C-alpha cells in the first residue's frame, strides 16, 4: 500500500530551506514520519503525539491532459514547499502539529504518458487509463492517513485527484461525503474514462459523494450536460457571474449558502482549483476569476466547519506562467502557502 509513497526525511528538503539568526522557520517546526515502524502505525503514533495535519504532494499532469487540456501541473507541490517551508513561525501560526509526509509517486506514469497526445483518440484512452492508476495510488495513501485519524492537505496535480481522496474518505468513514469546491468548473463531465473534469461525477455515481456545492462556477465554462447533471443530482452552485458580474450575492453569502447545505454527521472536503484565481499559473489560465484574497477567504470560512476532513489544492502549473518557470514557482508558491496558512489558522480556531 506504501509502494508508491516517497516518505520525506530532512535530506529531501535541505536544498529548499534557509536559516536565519533568531528566527524559527516552518520547516524547523514540522514533523517527519518515523520510518522505523510500519507506515499506518507510524501515522497513528504521530496522531497520538499531537499531530493533526499531514502535508502530501502529488506531482502529475495526466488528469488535465486526459481532459483534453494542457499539462504543467507537476510542479505545484515543489513551488509550495519552497515558499511554505521558509515562512517564519510566530504568534499567529506555528505548524508544530503538522507532519510533512512526502509525495505520492507518479514519475513512472508521467514517463509512460510523455509521448501521448490527447488529440489522438487511442492515446486519449491511454491517458485516461493512466489517470485511473493515479486514482488507485491516491486512494491507497489517503486511506492510511484517514485511518490514522489525521487531516490531509493534498497539494499538486490535477483536479482528477479529488476522486481518489473521496474514495479513501468514504472507505474509512463509512459515509458518503460532502464537498465544497471553489472552481469555475463543476468537474461533473460525462462518465467517459477518468480525467480532471469528472472526478465529482464519478464519486457521485459510486455513492461516495452525498452533497456538493460549487462556488464561482463560470456560466461559459460548463456545458449543458454538466449543469443538467448537477441539477439531476440536486447539487448546487453560485456562479462567478452572480458574485462578480451581477453582484446578486457576495462571496461570503455564496460560501455560506453551500456550507448550510451540509450535515455535520458527514465528512466535508474543501476543494480549491486554483484556476479560479485570476492570473494564476495553472493548467487553464484565466483573467476572469477571483483574487488570491477571495480564495483565502473561501478556505478560511469553509475550514471553520467541524466536519472538515481535508483540504485539496490542485491545478497549479508554475511552468505555464507567461514570464517563465522561475516567476511561476514564486507566485504559485505564495498562493498555495497562503491557502494552507488560512486553513491551518481556521482549524486552530475550531480546536479552541
C-alpha cell of residue 51 = 499531530
Calculate helix-pair angle for 76-84, 325-351, nearest 10 degrees. Answer: 70
Rounded Cα distance between 135 and 66, Å, is 13
Residues 75, 329 contacting (CB under 8 angstroms)? yes
Listed residue (271, 38, 263) closest to 153, CA to CA = 271
Q: Quote the pLDDT of residue 283.
A: 74
C-alpha cell of residue 252 = 461570503
Instruction: Name residue, grid cell 461516495.
Output: 208
Q: Report, as ranges of residue numbers, the positions in the chain whose pLDDT lies below 70.
A: none
Residues 53, 46 contacting (CB under 8 angstroms)? no
Residues 181, 200 contacting (CB under 8 angstroms)? yes
C-alpha cell of residue 143 = 486511506
Residues 224, 165 contacting (CB under 8 angstroms)? no
Instruction: Name residue, grid cell 462567478.
Output: 240
Q: Is the dihedral of CA 169, 222, 256, 99 positive or negative?
A: positive
Give the gyration radius of the chain's Cα atoms.
19
Q: Quote the pLDDT of residue 201.
A: 98
Listed residue (1, 2, 4) closest to 107, CA to CA = 4
The full length of the chain comes to 352
Domains, in order of start, for the chain: 24-351 (3.40.800.10)
The DSSP code sequence of 45-68 is HHHHTT--EEEEEE---HHHHHTT
Q: Quote the pLDDT of residue 155.
A: 98
Amino acid at each position: 500500500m506504501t509502494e508508491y509513497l516517497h516518505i520525506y526525511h530532512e535530506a529531501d528538503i535541505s536544498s529548499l530551506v534557509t536559516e536565519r539568526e533568531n528566527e524559527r522557520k516552518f520547516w524547523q517546526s514540522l514533523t517527519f514520519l518515523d520510518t522505523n515502524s510500519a507506515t499506518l502505525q507510524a501515522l497513528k503514533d504521530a496522531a497520538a503525539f499531537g499531530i493533526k495535519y499531514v502535508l502530501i504532494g502529488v506531482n502529475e499532469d495526466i488528469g488535465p491532459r486526459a481532459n483534453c487540456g494542457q499539462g504543467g501541473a507537476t510542479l505545484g507541490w515543489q513551488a509550495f514547499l519552497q515558499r511554505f517551508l521558509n515562512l517564519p513561525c510566530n504568534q499567529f501560526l506555528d505548524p508544530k502539529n503538522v507532519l510533512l509526509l512526502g509525495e505520492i509517486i507518479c514519475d513512472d506514469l508521467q514517463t509512460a504518458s510523455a509521448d501521448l497526445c490527447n488529440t489522438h483518440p487511442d492515446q486519449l484512452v491511454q491517458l485516461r487509463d493512466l489517470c485511473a492508476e493515479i486514482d488507485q495510488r491516491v486512494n491507497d495513501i489517503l486511506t492510511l492517513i484517514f485511518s490514522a485519524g489525521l487531516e490531509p492537505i493534498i497539494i499538486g496535480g490535477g483536479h482528477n485527484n479529488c476522486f481518489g481522496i473521496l474514495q479513501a474518505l468514504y472507505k474509512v468513514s463509512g459515509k458518503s461525503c460532502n464537498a465544497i469546491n471553489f472552481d469555475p468548473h463543476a468537474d461533473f463531465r460525462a462518465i467517459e474514462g477518468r480525467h480532471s473534469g469528472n472526478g465529482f461525477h464519478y464519486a457521485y455515481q459510486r455513492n461516495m459523494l452525498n452533497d456538493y456545492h460549487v462556488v464561482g462556477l463560470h456560466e461559459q465554462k460548463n456545458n449543458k450536460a454538466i449543469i443538467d447533471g448537477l441539477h439531476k443530482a440536486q447539487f448546487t452552485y453560485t456562479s462567478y457571474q452572480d458574485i462578480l458580474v451581477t453582484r446578486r450575492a457576495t462571496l461570503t453569502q455564496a460560501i455560506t449558502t453551500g456550507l448550510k447545505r451540509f450535515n455535520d454527521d458527514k465528512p466535508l472536503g474543501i476543494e480549491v482549483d486554483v484556476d479560479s484565481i485570476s492570473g494564476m499559473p495553472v493548467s487553464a489560465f484565466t483573467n476572469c476569476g477571483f483574487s488570491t484574497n477571495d480564495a483565502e477567504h473561501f478556505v478560511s470560512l469553509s475550514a471553520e466547519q467541524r466536519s472538515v476532513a481535508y483540504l485539496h489544492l490542485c491545478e497549479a502549473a508554475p511552468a505555464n506562467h507567461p514570464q517563465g518557470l522561475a516567476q511561476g514557482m514564486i507566485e504559485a508558491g505564495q498562493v498555495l502557502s497562503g491557502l494552507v496558512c488560512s486553513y491551518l489558522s481556521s482549524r486552530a480556531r475550531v480546536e479552541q
